[in-house]
Structure 1
Amino acid sequence: MSVLTTLFQDFAARLCSTEFLRDARHPDHPTAFSRCRKLPLATLVAIMLTGMRMSVQAEMDTFFAHLRLQAQLVHEVSEQAFAQARAKLSLVAIPGLNDWLIARAELDGFVPRWRGLRLVAADGSTVRFGLRASHVKRAALADQILFGLFLPGPDLMLAASLHSIHERGERQFLIEHLDRLSPDDLLLLDRGYPASWLVAVLNQRAIKFCMRVDNTDGGYACVREFVRSGAIERIVMLRAPNKQDALDYECPRKPQRVRLVRHVLPNGEQRVLMTNLFDDKLFPADCFGELYHKRWGIEEAFKRLKHRLNLEHVTGLSQQAVVQDVAAKIVCDNLQALVSITAHADADLPENKRINHAYAHTALKPLMPILLLGAKIGRKVGVLLRGLLGLIAGRTYRHRENRLKPRKPGAKPHKKMTQKNC
């Protein structure tokens, strides 16, 4: 727990640092946050990082009440002041905090390795923000795509970005994020990603990958032949990318050598996984089924952000406000994940006992103002966290292996703007 206490103290110090102040100023407002106001930079960001699920005024009144350790709401700042302050906040400020948090989690040992590699899952999810008609300049579109890179082990979102639904697709979004990956990462991809040019790009950059490929995806003759053969694994050559793809993505126009592995589920369903991990001693064929299943963590993360943190209920109508809200809730979810990891470890819970993340969010939210801004309480941070970890460790559920729950067909639920929590 001492590691978590120090992490929160350093995170709070980061919010008040001159380095963060420099990064947080919007290019159009180079002197922002210089004067002493009721809503300084650290307080503004701390309010956003609590995971705003109610109206702006209700969230701020609750925030200042928790900061003063009292039950009665405190009306200290208006929602108009909040809107004016957040307009001066740079779009890279909160993502920069997330980068700092991920680097710190790596340093503190929160991110495990799978056979010496860091697992990174990539996927996208359609979001429908609860917007209304307005005359706001650069107003946000209601329907957008949230693309993310996710660390399945510690349940941390490495990076995320919003895109128009009319853009080229998730493969292109992945290309834009490849600079965040290193040769020590193993990229986990679903069946919507296989393409000859993408495999060529990943091999060119020496990025390890494991992706699901179906018989019909891309029309790979070698995959169809592998399925018919009944073999457990086979090394094959994918056809070279076409000329236009090779030019667009600056990848070699050469056949790509990959390894195909067959994975049979308990219900008899078969999956074909494609990878560039060729060492059958370090990576035997029977390890890839469990490896691919770890990708499911990013699906749970999207669900948690949408339905636990009300990601689609934004606090502004402009695209700038929407991007800030998404980034803030990702940092909020990452902080909750680190708290849950510590609670599980300190309570010495068995592997099949999992922390209830929804309850962890609820338990952490009232303490966030004090943890992020309560510099005067000093050693009491450890006391507060100890009580929090005990509460979270008492709310667990039993995880059952090899359980399959097919998705139910039908439209996904999207709450209206008027259906915010009270």
Structure 2
Amino acid sequence: MSANLKIISDLRNFITLSSQHSELKQMFTSSPKDFTRKRKLPFEFVVGMLLNFFKRSYDIEISDFFHHIDAEELTASKSAFCQQRTKINSFFFSCLNSILIDSFHVHYKNEVKRWKEMRLIAIDGSTSYLIDNKEVTKHFGTHGNQRGTATLSRILCAFDVLNKIIVRANMYPISMSEQKIAAHWLPTYAPDMLLIYDRAYPGFESIFHHQNKEQPQPFLMRCPVGFSLEVIAFVKSGLDDAMGTLKADKAPRRSLKAQGFLVKAKATIAVRFIRVVLDDGTIEVLITNLFDQQKYPHSEFKALYFM
């Protein structure tokens, strides 16, 4: 069996297990009563339809779905489909994506692309305009200016840039910052993932959490040239590559204390500063915990970050 068929088989098995295992079904549905009675649109049928990504009218897509599974005697209205679809919790699709990623790494084990034995995971955020619906607006919030307000959500995505796979993605209320979401995701990453961030993410607290996991999480962060006194001093030094430290100011110490971490007033954290000069002469500064200058030479970081 080809790797792709094995992956499809893993996904099908998970969907079937989710529809038949009572505890799993309760985790993935809105109510314990959902999908308990025998209907024309059971859990696995609705999931199958959603994974087909409807491109035509619901009536045509539903009819075609029943045709493809040799159940042409069955019919269902688009209203019935919409009602059944709202019963499936979005958490199910997060788990399904995790199954997909794990299955890919199992069945394509020797073909997974890596950079120096690490998977490269780029993390970035955006926003998305949503429909003007009372419940949607209440959950996600609004953003506005002098021209008016609109319902808006925050989106964050972790993307395996070499294998072209979305490792994780989710949508949040606009009031949540990208930095807080990224920090919440940190425990879910594997030790062989190199996390790449833009200049919205660096900070003592963020770097502290990356360094103090059970196994330090490799990271590469771009930071503004005026980010801190230490970064300013590095830029002025003229060096391209240097070991240094970042000092814990009051705000990150206070935040870390609230999380149960006691950081002393004069505490520092070790980092490596990398200077990158763009084609137009602009200086960029990267911060990383890849300290081995022989294994990770300065010459590779410009291309690495721009992945």
Deviation for aligned residue 1:274: 0.5
Within a 5 Å distance, the mapping from 1:10-409 to structure 2 comes to: 10-17=10-17, 21-22=21-22, 23-25=24-26, 26=28, 28-53=30-55, 56-64=58-66, 76-108=75-107, 109=109, 111-129=112-130, 131-133=131-133, 141=141, 142-167=151-176, 169-205=177-213, 206-217=216-227, 220-242=228-250, 243-251=253-261, 253=263, 254-294=267-307
Q: Distance in 2 between matches of 1:134 and 1:84?
A: 18
8 Å CA contact 2:140, 2:153 repeated in 1: no
Q: Distance in 1 between matches of 2:55 and 2:247?
A: 49
Give the equivalent residue in structure 2 for 1:379.
none
8 Å CA contact 1:200, 1:251 repeated in 2: no
Q: Distance in 1 between matches of 2:185 and 2:54?
A: 27
Q: Distance in 1 between matches of 2:155 and 2:136?
A: 22
- Match of 1:92, SS? helix
8 Å CA contact 2:201, 2:221 repeated in 1: yes
Q: 1:186 to 1:58 in 2, by over 3 A?
A: same
* Equivalent position amino acid for 1:200 in 2: F
Deviation for aligned residue 1:223: 1.3
8 Å CA contact 2:198, 2:222 repeated in 1: yes
Aligned residues: 287
Give the equivalent residue in structure 2 for 1:386.
none
* Equivalent position amino acid for 2:183 in 1: I
Give the equivalent residue in structure 1 for 2:148.
none
8 Å CA contact 1:126, 1:144 repeated in 2: yes
Give the equivalent residue in structure 2 for 1:7.
7
* Equivalent position amino acid for 1:121 in 2: A
* Equivalent position amino acid for 2:113 in 1: P
Deviation for aligned residue 1:276: 0.8
Deviation for aligned residue 1:104: 0.7
Q: Distance in 2 between matches of 1:40 and 1:240?
A: 54
Q: Distance in 2 between matches of 1:247 and 1:269?
A: 38
Unaligned residue ranges in structure 1 (runs of 5+): 295-422
- Match of 1:83, SS? helix
* Equivalent position amino acid for 2:6 in 1: T
Q: 1:11 to 1:183 in 2, by over 3 A?
A: closer
Q: Note the alpha carbon deviations across 1:346-383, whole angstroms, 9 max, x for none.
A: xxxxxxxxxxxxxxxxxxxxxxxxxxxxxxxxxxxxxx
Q: Note the alpha carbon deviations across 1:291-340, whole angstroms, 9 max, x for none.
A: 1122xxxxxxxxxxxxxxxxxxxxxxxxxxxxxxxxxxxxxxxxxxxxxx
CA RMSD of aligned residues (A): 2.9
Unaligned residue ranges in structure 2 (runs of 5+): 142-150
Deviation for aligned residue 1:273: 0.8
- Match of 1:16, SS? helix
Identity, % of aligned positions: 27
Q: Which segment drifts farther, 4-13 or 269-278?
A: 4-13
- Match of 2:236, SS? helix
Q: Distance in 2 between matches of 1:180 and 1:287?
A: 27
Deviation for aligned residue 1:60: 3.0
8 Å CA contact 2:19, 2:44 repeated in 1: no
Deviation for aligned residue 1:93: 1.4
* Equivalent position amino acid for 2:229 in 1: A
Q: 1:60 to 1:132 in 2, by over 3 A?
A: farther
Q: 1:247 to 1:59 in 2, by over 3 A?
A: farther
Q: Distance in 1 between matches of 2:64 and 2:277?
A: 51
Give the equivalent residue in structure 1 for 2:145.
none
TM-score between both structures, scaled by the size of structure 2: 0.82
